[in-house]
Amino acid sequence: MRKIFNNFTGNPKNDVLSGLTVALALVPEAVAFAFVAGIDPLVGLYGAFMMGIVTALFGGRPGMISGATGAMAVVMVHMIQQGNIVGMELANPIENLGLQWLFITLLFVGAIQILAGILKLGKFVRLIPHPVMMGFVNGLAIVIFLSQIGLFKESVDGVQQWLTGKNLLIMLVLVGLTMGIMFGLPKITKKVPAALTAIIVVACITIFGNIDVSTVGSFIKDGGGEGLQGGLPTFQSQIFGLFDTLKGHWSLILSTAFLLAAVGLIESLMTLNLVDDITESRGSGNRECVAQGSANILNGLFGGMGGCAMIGQSIINVNSGGRGRLSGVVAAIALLCFVLFGAPLIEQIPIAALVGVMFMVVIGTFAWSSFRIINKIPKADAIVLIAVSAITVWQDLAIAVIAGVIMSALVFSWNNATMIRARKRIKEDGTKVYEIWGPLFFGSVQNFNSKFDPKTDPENVEIDFIESRVSDHSGVEAVTVLAEKYLELGKNIKLIHLSPECKVLLLKADPNLENVIEESIDDPRYHIATDLLDSEV
């Protein structure tokens, strides 16, 4: 209880100020991602609020920010479009049926994510290798940078065109000023968040200087929205009467739900890992899964677009001093207040200020050390690092992380497959002994089998596994088949120093092998391991 209390009162000033900074940065991103998904901007803002408040209160990582994200918005597009088409083809057409389908889908997304937390699947984030993490943050930094480049455009007669001349110069100066304040202010004082100060200073310059620049309000209107002003989220009771419209489309809903849940969890757990490294503390992946799932169910019930952890905003938060749960709560509540009361003011914030903040996030996110170590790490790790970065930019971070883990696993398996060794010797009584070294698993089975020659071996053979470990079913099967070959030739074979787990698996596969497994071997290594386990328990 004291720890929870400290998460809200340990650093209130920095948490409140950093939360306000994050809220300002959340607005254009939530709106932009809503446009990507093809839905009303208010749906994106409601989604950011509900994701933010639930995960701030109950999530597995204090200081981490959640909201509407681009990775999930991209996945939603096809389903929303299909839903809108189906809605127009009904006997009684339903407008924006795709959005209603999204709310229904989010209920399944939430259930899947909660189940992942209950089954403790969050711990699998520990299996992500360091080269994948570095490639991930590098790719993410590039994606954030590229997403901001599109803001160097203006609407001319309804057509988006690149800024030129004076307008471009003003944009660059304001972006540079924002970055300069964020870089220099912490060297003078750290009592106020540099990002919030930069946004306020640049906004005051453009407002009181009457400078014509692109603002949050013009950004929303250029995208087809009507503004930020809205009310509280309302319960979407109508979705429970729309299940009939899903006949013949359940596969689309469920497949989209599983994909959204996977993308959301991967992005959230990777963000949690990254914030853990920055803050040198440890969050709970399983708790985060449950909180993310609960937030997405709430989004489905109250009309938000759903989402997951936001890496850029999380980094802004922790770098601005927001380390407690209060920072996330303030960001979420401030965002809702912007919608309810502060829309006219927030709409005057220049886009240049927010672009400058995100450019500083890019600089802080990119793992610049990767350039220094790229020639010092194994080539396979370097390839994984570069590939994950490229796939993050080309596809999305979920696919990139999965691809990176698979590549790393294949490299690990290949390297270990060549480590299996068999040292051979003959005892005084003529027994041939094979001393096995290295892991025996699916990758090393072929090399393991090539070490033996049952037809020419003597009558008595021992296979010693004291320096080896049978790791999977393929290894167990290889040992079983090899023993049966010797027995079929009428030769005596003994398997010694097998681990207890391997003995159990071998006897399950073939009870007749009980006669060839040596049980009376005094192996001090196993006794030591057992003693250690007992002491831990």
pLDDT > 80? residue 522: no
Q: Is residue 52 in a domain?
A: yes
User: Does residue 352 lie in a domain region?
Assistant: no
- Confidence class for position 55, pLDDT limits 50, 70, 90: very high
Query: Do 284 and 408 sit in the same domain of this protein?
Result: no
Cβ partners under 8 Å of residue 167, min gap 6: 154, 213
Model confidence at 237, pLDDT cuts 50, 70, 90, reads: very high
- Check pLDDT > 90 for residue 105: yes
| 9 and 106 in a common domain | yes
Task: Measure the CA angle with vertex 72, ends 284 and 74; round to 5°.
Answer: 160
**CB of 365 within 8 A of CB of 315?**
yes
Same-domain status, 394 and 440: no
Residue written as tokens 């208010």?
42
pTM: 0.71
Say yes or no: 147 and 54 in one domain: yes
The answer to whether 211 and 205 are in contact (CB under 8 A) is yes
Q: Which residues pair with 424 in a beta bridge?
A: 434
**For residue 264, is it within any domain?**
yes
CB-based burial, 370-383: b 16+ in 10 Å, e otherwise: beeeeeeeeebbbe
* Domain shared by 307 and 384, yes or no: no
- For range 387-412, the mean pLDDT: 85
Tell me the three-class secondary structure of 232-286, residue by residue. Answer: CCCCCHHHHHCHHHHCCCHHHHHHHHHHHHHHHHHHHHHHHHHHHHHHCCCCCHH
Average pLDDT over residues 229-239: 89
131-148 pLDDT, tens digit per residue, is 888 888 888 788 878 878
How far is CA 534 from its chain centroid? Answer: 36
Domains held by the chain: number: 3
56 close to 332: Cβ distance less than 8 angstroms? yes
Could you give the dihedral angle defined by the CA atoms of residues 481, 485, 491 and 495, in that order, rounded to the nearest 10 degrees?
-20
Question: DSSP readout, 467-479?
Answer: EEEE-SHHHHHHH
In this predicted model, what pLDDT tens digit does every residue of 142-199 receive, in sequence order?
887 887 888 888 777 767 788 888 989 999 999 999 999 989 988 888 777 787 888 8
pLDDT single digits (tens) 1-27: 455 555 555 678 888 988 888 888 788
Q: Tokens 């057509």 appear where? A: 159
pLDDT of amino acid 534? 40
- DSSP-derived letter for residue 127 is G
* Residue closest to 448 by CA, chosen among 434, 460, 427: 434
270 and 397 in contact (C-beta within 8 Å)? yes
Task: Let me know whether 510 and 528 are in one domain.
Answer: yes
Average pLDDT over residues 399-427: 87
27 and 139 belong to one structural domain: yes
pLDDT, position 223: 63
Mean pLDDT of 338-351: 84
**What is the residue-wise DSSP string for 110-126?**
HHHHHHHHHTTGGGGGG
In Å, how far from its chain's centre is CA 531?
38
Q: Residues 397, 264: one domain?
A: no
pLDDT value at 374 more than 80 = yes
Residues contacting 436, CB < 8 A, separation 6+? 420, 421, 422, 448, 451, 463, 464, 465, 467, 468
Q: What's the pLDDT tens digit per position in 62-92?
A: 989 999 887 788 788 889 989 999 988 888 8
Query: Is 159 among the domain residues?
Result: no
Residue 288 has pLDDT above 90, yes or no: yes
Q: How far apart are CA 52 and CA 46, in angstroms?
A: 10
Domain assignment of residue 246, yes or no: yes
Based on the domain organization, do 110 and 259 belong to the same domain? Answer: yes
Q: What was the pLDDT predicted at 366?
A: 85
Sign of CA dihedral 318, 323, 329, 333: negative
Residues 449, 399 share a domain? no
Domain that residue 466 falls in:
418-536
